């Protein structure tokens, strides 16, 4: 059976060049990158080459890149590395749980142990397009605000936040600014100096690198309290023997991402995504009624579209499409099976039933125009079939 994978925001396949770059570091080049002998020097050099590549992707110095075990650890290091008892932290209602739950923990600590003060957290809402208003961020700043953590691109809708404006506000107020760029890296160009952030997190497996490796940009001079205690790896910012094959893979993925931008792959991908969207929504010939975009009219990364299909249950549609060979999702992979509708879509003001009828399609570098056609061949008929079975979908509202 033909299988097409359009769930690249959950994870991306490792590109063949990335796998090839990693392979020797599972075998012949096995040294501990901290060892001073030949074997260690060989892997140390590979780690430092990867650091240069990630720095080139982010527009920073190599010394400002700290490798971690993934996006979640990178977010946690940024947040817990800075926030202290008595501090105030600003975030948004649409963050990934790696940020939301870290912030929740900061605030819970305050509730549990009031004598320690803990941290207070302000959650900035978004508008119907899924955008944070920088003016709201500015208004939320208090004398004890230590950190603003607002994501670059949302994992469910692909909506890109006004991070450069927020960076400016943070700098003017002398507040640290962290941005979760896990869903932006490799999809749109990133330049930390243009964003004006102090910290920025990325993850290997969202950009065709391996799972279990990530990095955080830490602006020179930013004093981060480490989360792990051990050796003095990563300039004492992240203890633990480096995951050399993973880091090499992330470095190669960063190099390929830069080459992709130079070729205009991002524009091509936006074209494929727009075709999928227009065809599903009826702007082209075969559209469906009772369906529309979530996050319309907002700037988005080129690979993501999130669409609601009235009258269907999103999970039922994901399963029905999977049975026919198409992999998509209802949103974040880590929220699969959740009873509650997506916190991102409801924060944008979607009715809970619409949020539950929403599907995320996310393209990757491996996808072709034929993959999009395959999806277009399946989605309208599957939606129509599920609606026919639905007790809530009026039979008069025939799917076109
Ligand atoms: N932030 C965002 C926006 C994500 O989409 C994800 C992964 O789903 C993460 C953070 C966590 O990254 P990782 O899976 O590498 O821990």
The residue behind tokens 């760029």 is 181
Ligand 1: which of 183, 209, 342 to mutate, judged by most atoms within 8 Å of the beta carbon? 183
Cβ–Cβ under 8 Å, residues 319 and 312? no
Q: Beta partners for 304? A: 362
Share the mean pLDDT of the chain.
94
pTM: 0.95
What residues are in contact with ligand 1 under a 6 Å CB criterion?
Answer: 70-72, 75, 96, 98, 151, 155, 180, 182-183, 203, 205, 214, 332
Instruction: Tell me the pLDDT tens digit for each residue of 148-162.
Output: 999 999 999 999 999
Q: And the tokens for 312?
A: 């269907």
334 is catalytic: yes
Q: Which residues of 190-224 are buried (b: 16+ CB within 10 A; e: fewer)?
A: bebeebbbbbbbbbbbbbbbbbbbbbbbbbeebeb
The rounded Å distance from CA 300 to ligand 1 centre is: 17
Residue 67 to residue 349: CA distance in whole angstroms: 37
Asked whether the CA dihedral 371, 372, 377, 383 is positive or negative, the reply is: positive
User: What is the H or E stretch that residue 56 is in?
Assistant: helix 38-58
Q: What is the per-residue pLDDT across 115-138, written as a single tens digit (0 to 9) for each?
A: 666 799 999 999 999 999 999 999
| Distance in angstroms (rounded) separating the CA atoms of residues 207 and 253 | 7
Q: What is the average pLDDT across 299-327?
A: 97
Atom of ligand 1 nearest to the CA of 154: 3
Query: Could you tell me the pLDDT band of residue 106, with boundaries at 50, 70 and 90?
Result: confident
Task: Summarize pLDDT for 328-375 with one digit per residue, the tens.
Answer: 999 766 565 667 899 999 999 999 999 999 999 999 999 999 999 999
**What 3-state class would DSSP assign to 370?**
helix
- Residue 98 confidence (pLDDT) above 50: yes
Q: Which helix (H) or strand (E) holds 122?
A: strand 120-124
Q: Are 366 and 283 in contact (CB under 8 A)?
A: no
Q: pLDDT value at position 158?
A: 98
37: which DSSP letter? S
pLDDT in tens, 34-77: 999 999 999 999 999 999 999 999 999 999 999 999 999 999 99
| More confident of the two residues 84 and 10 | 10
> What's the CA-to-centroid distance between 315 and ligand 1, angstroms?
21
Cβ atoms of 77 and 245 closer than 8 Å: no
Nearest CA to ligand 1 atom 5: 155
Q: Which of 60, 103, 119, 334 is catalytic?
A: 334
């Amino acid at each position: 059976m033909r299988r097409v994978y359009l769930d690249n925001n959950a994870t991306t396949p490792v590109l063949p060049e990335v796998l090839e770059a990693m392979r020797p570091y599972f075998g012949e080049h096995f040294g501990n990158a901290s060892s001073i002998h030949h074997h260690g020097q060989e892997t140390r050099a590979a780690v430092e080459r990867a650091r240069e590549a990630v720095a080139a992707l982010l527009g920073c110095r190599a010394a400002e890149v700290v490798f971690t075990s993934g996006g979640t650890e990178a977010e946690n290091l940024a947040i817990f590395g800075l926030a202290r008892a008595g501090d105030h932290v600003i975030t948004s209602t649409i963050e990934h749980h790696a940020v939301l739950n870290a912030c929740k923990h900061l605030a819970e600590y305050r509730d549990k142990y009031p004598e320690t003060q803990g941290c207070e957290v302000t959650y900035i809402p978004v508008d119907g397009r899924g955008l944070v208003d920088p003016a709201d961020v500015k208004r939320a700043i208090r004398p004890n605000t230590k950190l603003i953590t607002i994501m670059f691109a949302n994992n469910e809708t692909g909506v890109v936040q006004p991070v450069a404006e927020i960076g400016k506000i943070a700098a003017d107020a002398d507040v640290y600014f962290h941005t979760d760029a896990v869903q932006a890296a490799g999809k749109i160009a990133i330049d930390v100096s243009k964003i004006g952030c102090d910290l920025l997190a990325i993850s290997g497996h969202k950009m065709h690198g391996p799972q279990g490796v990530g990095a955080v940009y830490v602006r020179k001079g930013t004093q981060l309290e480490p989360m792990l205690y051990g050796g003095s790896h990563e300039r004492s910012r992240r203890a633990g023997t480096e995951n050399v094959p993973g880091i090499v893979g992330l470095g190669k993925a960063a190099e390929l991402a830069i080459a992709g931008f130079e070729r205009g792959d991002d524009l091509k991908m936006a074209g494929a995504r727009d075709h999928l969207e227009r065809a599903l929504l009826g702007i082209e010939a075969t559209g469906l009624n009772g369906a529309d975009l979530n996050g319309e009219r907002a700037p988005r990364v080129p690979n993501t579209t999130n669409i609601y299909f009235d009258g269907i249950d999103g999970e039922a549609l994901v399963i029905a499409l999977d049975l026919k060979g198409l992999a998509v999702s209802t949103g974040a992979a880590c929220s699969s099976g959740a009873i509650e509708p997506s916190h991102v879509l409801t924060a944008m003001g979607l009715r809970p039933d619409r949020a539950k009828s929403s599907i995320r399609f996310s393209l990757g570098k491996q996808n072709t125009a034929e993959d999009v056609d395959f999806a277009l061949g399946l989605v309208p008929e599957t939606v129509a079939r599920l609606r026919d079975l639905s007790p809530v979908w009026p039979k008069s509202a025939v799917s076109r």
